[in-house]
């Protein structure tokens, strides 16, 4: 297990940001941490890397406890953080430095030898598309370029676990597409990726596991296809049906809305596809098309928030 959080509580005065949070990230996952603004995403990440002090709960990193009931084990946390790459949502870069100088300072802090550091700097700057501007001052960079540099600094120590807080903020569509490809490539190399976002499409496209946090608690967690299937079972199935001839649903127990002379929307509490075949055939008609309408992650997210 890369990360395990149990019963984490964090209060900011009278505001409870985390309310007994439980969370697990397994090796090799691309875990999308999804929630509205103020749900507790950044607080969770800050607690994981030891930048705030929760009041209660436990945190394990790489199978070792680093936090328990209000106290961090500093030595254990330091060792764990050597294997973590962290890209914060809000960070201040040194405007008077170049990307090479910035990464050289961070690499030295990780005690990476000079020769190895230079090689790694070139590697990560090429990866994020900043090699051509490696000697330009960061103060002249756009928001998107600064985001790329923040990603580069999170990779300088070749981490096993990458934590990204709203990483695609400020990127244009092409930059977002490139960023997604970088995450996919890093995951193929064996890195575990945990990133928070309130943009549903980003999570749905690249994550194999999703956790939805609302008011400091995980409301939903698991494989995306499993989440959709469970949502269907709770919210009901919507089936779009088209037949060769008109069918009468007067005696049916299902909620049926005609969409045309031979096309229907059917909403039921369970999957009735086999029953529909028999029902349509009993009236001398055949099914041309039958489609179960799957919910989008956005529909699931909205219901969880509400």
In the chain, at which residue ranges do the beta strands (DSSP E only) sit?
3-12, 15-25, 30-34, 56-61, 64-68, 71-72, 84-87, 161-165, 192-197, 209-214, 217-223, 237-243, 255-258, 263-268, 287-292
Q: Output the six-digit token pair for 35.
A: 């929630």
Per-residue pLDDT of the chain (306 residues; tens, 9 = 90+): 999 999 999 999 999 999 999 999 999 999 999 888 888 999 999 999 999 999 999 999 999 999 998 899 999 999 999 999 999 987 789 999 999 999 999 999 999 999 999 999 999 999 999 999 999 999 999 888 898 999 999 999 999 999 999 888 777 888 888 888 889 999 999 999 999 987 777 787 888 898 989 899 998 888 877 777 776 666 677 899 999 999 999 888 888 999 999 999 998 877 788 899 999 999 999 999 988 876 666 666 666 666
Exposure b/e, 175-189, CB count within 10 A at least 16 = b: bbebbbebbeebbee
Distance separating alpha carbons of residues 257 and 254, to the nearest angstrom: 10
Instruction: Give CA separation, 21 vs 122, 211, 214, 301, in Å.
Output: 39, 11, 10, 18
Q: Delineate the domains of the chain, giving CATH numbers in brackets.
A: 3-229 (3.40.50.300), 236-305 (3.30.70.1560)
């Amino acid at each position: 297990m890369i990360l395990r959080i149990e019963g984490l509580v964090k209060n900011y005065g009278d505001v409870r940001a985390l309310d007994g949070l439980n969370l697990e990230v397994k090796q090799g996952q691309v875990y999308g941490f999804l929630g509205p603004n103020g749900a507790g995403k950044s607080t969770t990440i800050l607690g994981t890397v030891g930048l705030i002090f929760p009041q209660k709960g436990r945190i394990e990193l790489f199978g070792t406890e680093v936090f328990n009931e209000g106290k961090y084990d500093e030595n254990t946390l330091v060792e764990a953080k050597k294997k973590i790459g962290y890209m914060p949502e809000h960070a201040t870069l040194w405007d008077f430095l170049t990307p090479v100088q910035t990464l050289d300072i961070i690499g030295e802090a990780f005690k990476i030898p000079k020769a190895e550091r230079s090689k790694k700097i070139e590697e990560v700057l090429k990866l994020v598309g900043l090699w051509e501007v490696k000697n330009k001052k960061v103060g002249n960079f756009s928001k998107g370029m600064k985001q790329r540099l923040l990603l580069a600094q999170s990779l300088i120590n070749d981490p096993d676990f990458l934590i990204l807080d709203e990483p695609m903020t400020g990127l244009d569509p092409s930059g977002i597409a490139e960023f997604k490809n970088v995450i996919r490539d890093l995951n193929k190399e064996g890195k575990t990726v945990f990133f928070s976002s309130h943009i549903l499409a980003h999570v749905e496209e690249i994550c194999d596991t999703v956790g939805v946090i609302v008011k400091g608690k995980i409301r939903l967690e698991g494989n995306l296809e499993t989440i959709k299937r469970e949502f269907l079972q709770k919210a009901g199935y919507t089936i779009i049906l088209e037949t060769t001839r008109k069918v009468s649903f007067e005696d049916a127990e299902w909620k049926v809305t005609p969409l045309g002379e031979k096309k229907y929307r059917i909403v039921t509490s369970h999957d009735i596809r086999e029953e529909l075949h028999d029902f349509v055939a009993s009236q001398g008609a055949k099914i041309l098309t039958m489609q179960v309408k799957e919910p989008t992650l956005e529909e699931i997210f909205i219901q969880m928030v509400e």
